[in-house]
Amino acid sequence: MNKKRRGSLGEKLAIDFLQKKGYRILQQNYRYERCEIDIIAENGDVLVFVEVKARTSALYGEPVEAVTESKQNKIRKVAEGYLTEHEIQDTSCRFDIIAIKFLNGKTDIEHIEEAF
């Protein structure tokens, strides 16, 4: 599975997973300047910015390890852009990670709320 296909499949699985948990998906692949957030959703009255990381092996570490401090800063910047662009104020926000592993024909999904 190539990187692009793995990423698209991971995002689709993440959206399905979140919807089953009652989240309302607002936007996918939101871009601001040259950065992107994979999923923007609502969970009750909380706006949730979700980074999805999918891996087919542990060769380069766990999926969650790919969300480095630099990546977190970029996600925060995009979130600020989203809030400004949509004139959203006084709303609780959080940053989640969905880590997906495709190993030995199985798919494992881990949802880390308030990841950073």
| Rounded Cα gap, residues 9 and 6, in angstroms | 5
Instruction: Determine how many CB atoms are found less than 10 A away from the CB of residue 14.
Output: 28
- What pLDDT is recorded for position 105? 85
Residue 105: DSSP 8-state: T
Domains plus CATH for the chain? 3-112 (3.40.1350.10)
- What pLDDT is recorded for position 7? 74
| Rounded Cα gap, residues 66 and 52, in angstroms | 10
pLDDT tens, residue by residue, 94-115: 999 999 998 888 999 999 999 9
- What pLDDT is recorded for position 59? 78
pTM of the model: 0.91
Give the sheet arrangement for strand 92-103, strand by strand: 24-32, 35-43, 46-55, 92-103, 106-112
Instruction: Please name the residues in contact with 79: beta carbons below 8 A apart, sequence gap of 6 or more.
Output: 37, 49, 93, 95
- What pLDDT is recorded for position 2? 64
Q: Which residue positions in the chain have pLDDT lower than 50?
A: none
Cα radius of gyration rounded to whole Å, the chain: 14
3-state class (DSSP) for residue 39: strand
Q: List the structure tokens of 17.
A: 């997973």
